Each structure stands twice: as structure tokens, then as C-alpha cells.
Homo-oligomer: A and B are copies of this chain.
Amino acid sequence: MTGRFEGPEYHISKTRLETLVDGIFAIAMTLLVLGINPPRPEDSLAQSVLPGMIEGLVPQVFLFIVSFLVLALFWMGHHRQFHIVRKIDPALLWINILILISIVFVPFSTDVAGDYPDVMDAALLFHTNMFIVGLLFFVQWRYICRHEHLCEPVLEKAVMRGGSYHSMLVPAIAAIGGILCFVNPPLSLLIYFALPLGTYLLGQVPAP
């Protein structure tokens, strides 16, 4: 009852962890909007300058939408993975804490990459962030698959494999983006539009 590995985190229920996860997703998705800097010209110049300034926000708004959609995909992925989880163990809890840290970081990396889409380091920060979130989801999925006592019902092999393919999609795309941004940073940010295509191609693969 107080063994080393089931001791401290023993009483964290699945429901409560999901509540924290859903709350942090909702807040991070909403904070994304703070990355769009509202233009603040002088009142006397506003009539002539503001229209151009609003147009200049297009890259920021674009990346805001990209990040929102990727976070929405991660949120769905979390629900799909947790749909078969019956109980939480300390390792699974800590994988979730790491996922949450990297989710909370997304509004920051989106902000930087949206402000400076031409600068390689800014785009790379964004791709790295997305890669880490995606990788952690992959790790979580592998962990769930390998610990049958956490699951209900026991997973079929095909679903395990399909889930792995699905959760490799975002890391793969982020990795391609990370390579592409050495060549053309703004173009590399467009790579995430390959996500719907990837999801479509994986549509017939069994998944959780």
C-alpha cells in the first residue's frame, strides 16, 4: 500500500488528471491569442496606419490558427489514448506532467515564430516544441500498450500498432519542418497543413 512506486501518486484518479489536462489545454489554446500583438499606433496616425498594421498581422494570425489546430489534435489524441486507460500509475502521471509543460510552452513558441517567421531560430523553436509534445504522446502510447494492467479492455495488436502510427504523425511532420527551416523558415511553418492529409492516409489504419 505504500510501496515505492505506488506510494505518493497512488490517489490521483483518472478523472482528476483528465480535468487538469483539459483545463490546461483550454487555457493554452486561449492564451495563443495573446501572441497576436494588437497594433498600438498614435491616435492621430491610426486612420492611415492601422489598416496596413492589421494586414501585417497575417503571419501571426496564421500561426495562431496552426497552433490552435495542432493543440486540438493533441487534445483529441489524449482523449483517444485515455479512453482505454483504466487507472493511473506514477510513470503515466509523470508523462502527463511532461506533456503539460510542453503544451504550456506552445503559446510562447507560437508567439516568437509568429513575430519572426523569417528567422530560422524562431521557426526551429516552434518545430522543436511540436516535436517534443508529439514525441511524449508517442511515449505515452507505448507505455500504455506495454502495461496491460492499466488498460480496459486489453488492446488488440492491430490497434496498438495503428495507435503508434497515428502518434508518430505529428513528430514526423515537425521533424520535416525542423529540417526544412534550415532552407526556408516561413515555408517550413506551412508543413503542418500536411496533417489533414496524413490523418486521411491513416484513416483506414485501426486506432484507439
Contact = CB atoms under 8 A, between A and B. Distances in A.
B107 A11 contact: no
Nearest to A111: B38
A89 interface: no
A162 B107 CA distance: 39
Interface residues of A, number: 76
B69 A121 contact: no
Interface stretch (A131-139, A141-149, A176-184, A197-205): A197-205
Contacts of A38: 35, 108, 111-112, 115
A202 B7 CA distance: 10
Contact of A50 (B29, B46, B121): B121
A63 interface: no
A46 B104 contact: no
Nearest to A4: B203
Given A22-B23, A33-B31, A97 B121 contact: no
Contact of A24 (B24, B26, B36, B64): B26
| Copy count, this protein chain | 4
B22 A199 contact: no
B51 A9 contact: no
Contacts of A12: 76, 79
A188 B146 CA distance: 39
A30 B201 CA distance: 34
A54 B121 contact: yes
A54 B125 CA distance: 9
Contacts of A8: 76, 80, 166, 199, 202-203, 207
21 contacts: A2-B207, A8-B199, A11-B79, A20-B25, A20-B26, A22-B23, A24-B29, A24-B30, A28-B33, A30-B31, A30-B104, A38-B112, A38-B115, A46-B116, A46-B122, A54-B122, A64-B105, A65-B101, A68-B100, A69-B97, A69-B101
Given A23-B26, A39-B112, 5 more contacts: A2-B207, A7-B207, A8-B76, A40-B115, A46-B118
